[in-house]
Amino acid sequence: MPSPASDLRAFVARIPKTETHLHLEGSLPLELARRIDPIAFASPPPYWHPDYRFHGFALFQEQFDSCFFKWFVSPENYYESCRRVFADVVAQNCVYLECSFHLGTAERIGQTPFREIARAIHAAKPPGLELRLYLGMFRDHYAGHFARVVDEAITWDEVAGVDLHGFENPEFQPWSAEIWSRVRALGKTTKAHAGEFSPAADVRRAVEFLGTRRVQHGLGALQDPATLALLREHDVTLDMTPISNVKLRAVPSMREHPIQQFLDAGIRCTVSTDDPMLFGNQLNDEYLALATDTGLSRATLLKIARHGFEVADLPTATKQRYFTELANLSE
């Protein structure tokens, strides 16, 4: 007779899933990191340990600057990494993926056209996975060469939308509201990281100033009932990453993660991995942690999975097929 733990793992594995918050540069497979530094990555890094906690976001970001960005310098390297990452995503029974690639790559690839990076990422997509690629950038990135790259990239068929990520400072700048409006006019999706460490006011500004309806993290909104009401009023989705939130100390522990409070407040939430190379996590791990440590019921796990399909850029008939599959798992 299977144990309760193995039964839960089997249940989670059967759930069809979406991943809506994944940074490709933060997903570098361990075997490729070893090519950069065979000594440092001879074994899994210490930050993969469940009890590891980063001492500040700057130290977390330093891992990108000192190591991971060194891999992402060519279309070929993006392809090799993404091919492995996407295979792992599919192995988690994830059928729809929204991921981002970093604007900063444009200054690391020499004379290679930046669009070739987007094309290489799409070329790595395996059969059966729906992929939507986002251009991610910092809040102060729109200047000089980067501004010209953004103006061009948002029109590419390979790019489904844009995201502001990284440090949640400075405040959202005027350029971002103008660009985000242009992106939506092109029929594409806009996202923004807010409320991971910043207060409710930053989440509110993402909705009111940027006009986005997809907030990455959004934890700070819980501080202010009026901001929660704003999220409900505008049908905003929070793309959450619980294990990341704990390891970056945005929340004290998985047991105290507030996702249930957001759900109880009528806010749509999805669950994703954020930067698997930094947290040693897979998508199924997120669901398992929410069940075993946060105490979410199986019905709530299915509700979260449904939320991902509700906001997915998929045909209505395809969404309905997954809604039916999820409903069958609840029986």
**Residue indicated by tokens 């793992």:** 9
Specify the pLDDT at position 2: 65
Backbone angles phi, psi at 162, to 5 degrees: -135, 160
Architecture of domain 4-17+134-322: Alpha-Beta Barrel (3.20)
| Cα 107–chain centre separation | 23
Instruction: Tell me the percentage of the chain whose pLDDT exceeds 90.
Output: 92
Q: Which residues contact 41 (CB under 8 A, 6 or more apart)?
A: 30, 33, 34
Q: Residue 64: pLDDT band by 50, 70, 90 thresholds?
A: confident
Q: Measured over all CA atoms, what is the biggest interatomic distance in the chain, rounded to whole angstroms?
A: 63
Q: Which residues pair with 269 in a beta bridge?
A: 238
Please give the model's pTM, rounded to 2 decimal places. 0.97
**Residue indicated by tokens 């594409």:** 188
Q: Rounded CA gap, 150 and 212, in Å?
A: 18
55-62: average pLDDT:
88
- Residue 65 pLDDT exceeds 90: no
Decide if 196 is catalytic. Answer: yes
For the stretch 256-267, pLDDT in tens is 999 999 999 999
Grouping H, G, I as helix, E, B as strand and the rest as coil, residue 261 is helix
> What is the residue-wise DSSP string for 124-140?
TPPTT-EEEEEEEE-TT
- Residue 17 pLDDT exceeds 80: yes
- Cβ neighbours of 197 (radius 10 Å): 19
- H/E stretch holding 239 reads strand 237-240
Instruction: Tell me the percentage of the chain whose pLDDT exceeds 70.
Output: 99
122-145: average pLDDT:
96
Specify the pLDDT at position 1: 55
Q: Residue 270: pLDDT band by 50, 70, 90 thresholds?
A: very high
85-103: average pLDDT:
98
> What is the residue-wise DSSP string for 257-300?
-THHHHHHTT-EEEE--B-HHHH---HHHHHHHHHHTS---HHH
Q: Rounded CA gap, 212 and 220, in Å?
A: 16
Domain range list for the chain = 4-17+134-322
How far CA 173 is from CA of 22, 132, 152, 170, 182, in Å, comes to: 24, 26, 20, 8, 15
With CA atoms as reference, report the closest residue to 210 among 233, 234, 183, 178: 178
Catalytic residue among 19, 98, 196, 286: 196
Q: Rounded CA gap, 176 and 185, in Å?
A: 14
**Are the beta carbons of 181 and 140 closer than 8 angstroms?**
no
Specify the pLDDT at position 293: 97
- Counting Cα atoms < 13 Å in the Cβ hemisphere of 98 gives 26
Angle at 231 between CA 58 and CA 198, to 5 degrees: 20
Output the CA torsion 165→170→174→180 (10° steps). 10
For the stretch 161-186, pLDDT in tens is 999 999 998 899 999 999 999 999 99
Specify the pLDDT at position 214: 98
Q: Which two tokens mark 259?
A: 């996702």
**Residue indicated by tokens 């492995």:** 84
Q: Residue 103: pLDDT band by 50, 70, 90 thresholds?
A: very high
For the stretch 290-328, pLDDT in tens is 999 999 999 999 999 999 999 999 999 999 999 999 999
Structure letter (DSSP) for residue 173: P
3-26: average pLDDT:
94
Specify the pLDDT at position 312: 98
Grouping H, G, I as helix, E, B as strand and the rest as coil, residue 160 is strand
Q: Rounded CA gap, 282 and 274, in Å?
A: 10
For the stretch 188-223, pLDDT in tens is 999 999 999 999 999 999 999 999 999 999 999 999
Q: 79 or 3: which carries more pLDDT confidence?
A: 79
39-64: average pLDDT:
92
- H/E stretch holding 293 reads none
**Which sign, positive or negative, has the C-alpha torsion 313, 16, 119, 189?**
positive
- Residue 159 pLDDT exceeds 90: yes
